[in-house]
Amino acid sequence: MRIFQGKEIDRPALKLWGAGMTVGWQLHEAYRPVSELAAGATDLFTGAGGFGLNLLTGIDGRMKVESRKEETGDPNWLDCHTVLHTPKGDLEMVRRESQIGDPGYDMEHYVKNEEDIEKLLSIPYTPPEEFRKENYDKAVSAVGDRGIAMIDLPHAAYFLHQMTGSETLAYLSVDARELVDEAVSVYAKRLYDHVKRILDTGIEHPVFGWCGPELFLPPLLSPKDFDDFVMKYDKPICDLIHERGGYVWVHSHGKVRHFIERFIEMGVDVLNPLEPETASNGDVDMEEVAGTFGGRIGLEGNIEIQEILLSSRERIADLIDRCVEAGWKSGRLILCPSAGYMEYARPTEQYIENLLFYLKYGLEAVERCRR
């Protein structure tokens, strides 16, 4: 919490994205020793449940939805069709789902043209009911001094992207920019009101977090798109959270170096995952970023997950040392991989061993900084 607050800390934090206080469900049994070690060794980010929001319908479940599954010719994959019956016509998406635990693929998105955005906006929306403060208090009490209980939020612009996909959104951002802006503004207003209802419960110093700005950065979209569809709508939400004594965590892959000042202006307290220049889509030199921005924003990440998947222990140790040495100068470093650790259905022995090494050596590295 002191990293979010910009207060002095005794050492950098150590995080394994996706780790919890207990071992719980395992995507593959090989992950169990990693989950066990992380539960005891890391500074935890846990979810504060009971505050979810469906930006499409709110709590209104009366919208007609049909679904069906079709064979693809490969027994490992099925195409799952979902049809939304909106007041202005049907919307259909197709998702190819793995039958053996692999990630799926969106083959066809709901929104394919301007008319489909109008259909999307015609769907009736009912705001959620009032929330109970006890849900957050219970999560905070459970994690205690081990870490943060964070309220996960959807993201207005990201939600629209999920409906369109990257290619269609890129075209629409040029051909139907006012309509795209209208859609993002509608979802942002729903989100703002949702956050206000949560804050009205009286919870103290809440941490809110969301993902999505990465899809409005180059190369997918332009800096102006970031300002128009992310900055314009996220800043009022951040301001509201700060006015009520809360804090903001944001996840944004991609080349974020030239957007860090914007994230600070927006009101982001901790930015993740700050992928290094060696990553395929990263551009963050931790030494330069820590020197440029100092303690103005929390710096989380900078260890590319591909390195843990494929690299030698010697290289991982070197990457950890360099990250901690550079990031510690900011006084607000959270050492963390760039993605969740349990996202591969069939982890290799090397990956499991490297995850365990990351935890053990990472703890040694942050402890060497202890004041």
pLDDT at position 60 is: 62
Q: What helix, strand, coil percent values describe the chain, rounded to 5? A: 45, 20, 35
Q: What is the pLDDT of residues 39-59, one digit of tens each?
A: 999 999 999 988 989 999 987
**pLDDT exceeds cutoff 70 at 61:** no
CB 13 within 8 A of CB 19: no
Average pLDDT, the chain: 95
CB 160 within 8 A of CB 180: yes
How deeply is 169 buried, as exposed, middle or buried, from its count of CB atoms within 10 A (0-12, 13-18, 19+)? buried
Specify the DSSP element, H or E, that contains 106: strand 105-108
pLDDT at position 358 is: 98
Q: What does the alpha-carbon distance between residue 207 and residue 245 come to, in Å, rounded to a whole number?
A: 9
Which domains are assigned to the chain?
2-61+109-367 (3.20.20.210), 63-108 (no CATH)
How many percent of the chain have pLDDT more than 70? Answer: 99
Across 21-25, 49-53, 104-108, 341-345, least confident range = 49-53
Q: What does the alpha-carbon distance between residue 81 and residue 86 come to, in Å, rounded to a whole number?
A: 16
**pLDDT exceeds cutoff 90 at 101:** no
CB 1 within 8 A of CB 245: no
**pLDDT exceeds cutoff 90 at 280:** no
As a whole number, mean pLDDT of residues 317-335 equals 97
**pLDDT exceeds cutoff 90 at 306:** yes
**pLDDT exceeds cutoff 70 at 197:** yes
As a whole number, mean pLDDT of residues 143-153 equals 94
Q: What does the alpha-carbon distance between residue 79 and residue 96 come to, in Å, rounded to a whole number?
A: 4
